[in-house]
Amino acid sequence: MKRSVRNSVSALMLSILMLTVSVLSLSTPSTAQIGIGISVRIGPPALPVYAQPVCPGPGYLWTPGYWSWNDDGGYYWVPGTWVVAPVGMLWTPGYWGFAGGFYGWHAGYWGPHVGFYGGINYGFGYSGVGFAGGEWRGGGFFYNRAVMNVNVVNVTNVYSRTVVVNNVHTSFNGPGGIEARPTAQEEAYAREPHRAALPEQAQHERAASENRASFASENHGRPAIAATGKPGEFNGPRVARASAAGGNVNDRAEAPSENRSTQNREQAASGDSAKSNKAEPAPKNNQKPPKAEPKRSGGGERR
C-alpha cells in the first residue's frame, strides 16, 4: 500500500514538473534572444538578389533567407521559404550583429509582433524595421500584394499597400554594416511570449547545411537555391535561383567559430578597450580575413 502511494505521489510530482516546464517555455523569451548562439571573426556575405516564389496557399508566412555558419565550410545560404505560421504570430528574422570583435548570430522567433532584426533589409516586407508584408485579421492572414507574390486564385485574403524599397544588401548589424539600434517598442516586443523556429524551419536549415552548393565557397554569394516554395523543397518549379550576388564575397571564412555568451563577449570588449584608447578601424564585410592561428592542445520586392 505504501509503495503504491509513493508511486502515485512521484507520478503527480513528475506531471507538475512537466507542466511547469511547458508553461515557462511559452511565457519566456527564447534563449536565442537572451544570448548569442555562435560567433565568428568574419562578417557574412551580402544578401543575394532573388525573386520570391509564389505563396503556396492561405496561412503561409514568408521567412527570408539568411547566411548561416558551419565550422567546416564557413557561411552557407539558408533559402527563404514559405512556412505555415502559428495563428496570430509573425516571424522576426534572425540577424548577425558585430560587437567586441565578433559577429554573433541572433536567432529569429515567432511572436505577436515583429521585433528588432538588426535593421537588415531582407526584402518582401522586411525592410529593416517591422513587417509590411501582411497582417492578421481575426484567425486569417491577409497578404499585402505590393510586396508578396500571391496568386489570388489560391489566396483571397489580400490587400495592396505601397512600400518604399531600398535595395541595400548588407547582411549584418554594427560597425561596417547597418548601424541600427532597437527602439523601446522593439525591445518590449522581444520580451513578449514567443517561440523559437518551428521544426520544419530547423530541418530546412539542416538540409541547406548538407548541400555543398549552399556554401559561399561554392556559390560565391549567388546560390542556385536562393528561395523555395516550402521548407526543404530544393527541387521543382517553386525553387528560385539568385540572379546576382549582393556584393563581393569572401569565398570561405578561415577563422574558427567560438561559442561565447553575451556576458563573456562584453567582458572581452571592455578588456580590449582598456588596453588602448585608440579605436581600431571597423572590419569590412568584403575584406579577406586573416588565417586563423593553429589550435593549441589543452545571410520579388528587391530580389
Between 39 and 58, the more confident residue is 58
pTM: 0.73
CA distance 90 to 117: 13
Note the pLDDT of residue 291.
40
Report the 10 Å Cβ neighbour count for 295.
7
Long-range contacts of 17-24 (CB under 8 A, 24+ apart): none
- pLDDT number for residue 190: 93
List beta partners, residue 62: 82
Task: Give the pLDDT confidence score for residue 94 in this predicted structure.
Answer: 97
pLDDT in tens, 52-64: 999 999 999 999 9
* Per-residue pLDDT reduced to its tens digit, 252-281: 433 334 444 333 333 333 333 333 333 334
Tell me the average pLDDT across 219-246: 95
Residue 165: predicted pLDDT:
75
Percent of all residues in the chain with a pLDDT value above 70, rounded to a whole number: 69
Domain range summary for the chain, segments of one domain joined by +: 39-275
Neighbours of 85 (CB within 10 A): 19
Please report the pLDDT score of residue 81 as a whole number: 98
- Confidence grade of residue 286 (pLDDT, cut at 50, 70, 90): very low
